[in-house]
Copies of this chain bind each other. A is one copy, B any other.
């Protein structure tokens, strides 16, 4: 990957300010410890500021105050974000635009935009639409009447069931399933009658879905994932859920039917959320927690059932002490009985 930029060029790309010699050339990235003279590194955490003096890197991305280091630097508001952008610049390659390749199965009524790529072994059903710049990898299956926006990546073996809609710049990792039937059954005496799940799933722009994660179609209307929300691997979203924007749903989380999740919510790994409840904006739920009922906005929660995170921390610390507490209670009970008896005696004696 022979890409080379001057420090000034990179600063311009990032909207940053050059300190030092802007003509220095950079052809790669590295950590503070490992970067070489032709490489650029970054300081995001002030804790590591002392390492800047010793880095061999040709230039350092950092926040305000770079002048004190006497290094060639690009000063930016958010060095971590800018470093991520440079990773993209230096080390990623745009998808090749290849059109519909041989052995791709695309129904003649489907619309494949110019600039889209459909790999061999991918399937695109009737009247489906794939937008410009989008890539459908081998083994991905797009059912009838699906609409996929522009610049999406649909990885191998991802499946999008009939009529679901995917926004622009979305990514589906391998094995992701969008629009499987919701888990809805009407009891019929002993057995269960499957309730037709005639709704759909809508993924708004910039949604990313992890490997083997599942989002069920709504019973009647829409299961929706809001703009910018990211799902990790093996996540389950049941039918009729509405997930807000810019949420982080970590691996193996399960959200039951008809739950409403606000914006900027983070659910840590293996959290379970009950159905028909509301989680407010900016909520953080700790790993493995079980959420049985609605949670107010702007707070952190943990535990099963969930409680405020700080309370949970304190309670969790007591749990290993329970056997000791039980013993203490028994001994106190004995001491009290003895006191009672002594006092009775003392009172009688008088």
Contacts and interface: CB of A to CB of B under 8 A. Distances in A.
- Specify how many copies of this chain sit in the oligomer: 3
B157 A141 contact: yes
A326 to B, nearest CB: 5
Interface residues of A, number: 109
Contacts of A190: 228, 245-246, 264
A303 B230 CA distance: 29
A290 B287 contact: yes
Interface string A144-164: 000000000001110101000
A314 interface: yes
Given A157-B141, A210-B183, A290-B287, A303 B332 contact: no
Contact of A304 (B88, B123, B214, B288): B288
A27 interface: no
13 contacts: A87-B195, A105-B120, A121-B121, A123-B138, A174-B177, A232-B236, A232-B238, A251-B254, A315-B323, A318-B323, A325-B326, A329-B329, A342-B347
Cβ-closest 4 pairs across A and B? A141-B156, A180-B211, A123-B138, A318-B322
Interface of A: 78, 80-81, 83-85, 87-88, 91-92, 103, 105, 119-121, 123, 137-141, 143, 155-157, 159, 161, 171, 173-175, 177, 180-181, 183, 185-188, 190-196, 198, 206, 208, 210-212, 214, 216, 228, 230, 232-234, 236, 238, 245-246, 248, 250-252, 254, 256, 264, 269-270, 272, 274, 287-288, 290, 303-305, 307, 311-312, 314-323, 325-326, 328-329, 332-333, 335-336, 339-340, 342-343, 346-347, 349-350
